[in-house]
Amino acid sequence: MVNILWSLLIIIGIVYSFVSGQITNINDYILKIGSSTLELLMITIPLLIMWMGLLNIADKTGLLAMLSKKIRIILKPLFPKIKNNKALDYIASNVIANMFGLGSAATPFGLKAMEELQKENNNKEIASSSMITFLVLNTSGVTIIPTTVISLRMMYGSINPSQIIITSLIATIIASTIGLLIDYVIRRINNDN
Partner 1 sequence: MIINQLIIPLLVVIIIGFGLLKGHDIYNLFIEGCKDGINIAIKIIPPYFAMIFAINIFNGSGIINCIINQLAFLPKSIRLVIPMALIRPISGTASLAVLNQILSYYGPDSLVGNIASTIQGCTDTTFYVLALYFSSVRIKKTRYALAVGLLADLAGVITAIIVVYLFLN
Give least dist CB 95 to partner 1, A.
12
Angle at 125 between CA 124 and CA 127, to 5 degrees: 90
CA atoms in the 13 A half-sphere facing the CB of 134: 31
Give least dist CB 25 to partner 1, A.
5
Distance CA(163)–CA(45), nearest Å, equals: 34
Residue number, 82 or 105, with CB nearest to partner 1: 105
Q: Which of 125, 92, 128 is nearest to 110 (CA)?
A: 92
- Residue 74's CB is within 10 A of a number of other CB atoms, namely 10
Give least dist CB 191 to partner 1, A.
14
Residue number, 55 or 82, with CB nearest to partner 1: 55
Residue number, 80 or 115, with CB nearest to partner 1: 115
Give least dist CB 87 to partner 1, A.
12
Distance CA(28)–CA(54), nearest Å, equals: 39
Q: Say which amino acid occupies 107.
A: T
Look up residue 102 and give its DSSP letter.
-
Residue number, 25 or 84, with CB nearest to partner 1: 25
> Are the C-beta atoms of residues 143 and 172 closer than 8 Å to each other?
yes
Give least dist CB 74 to partner 1, A.
18
Letter string b/e over residues 145-177, b meaning 16 or more CB atoms within 10 A of that residue's CB:
ebeebbeebeeeeeeebeeeeeebeeebeeebe
Give least dist CB 161 to partner 1, A.
7
Residue number, 82 or 114, with CB nearest to partner 1: 114
Residue number, 60 or 83, with CB nearest to partner 1: 60
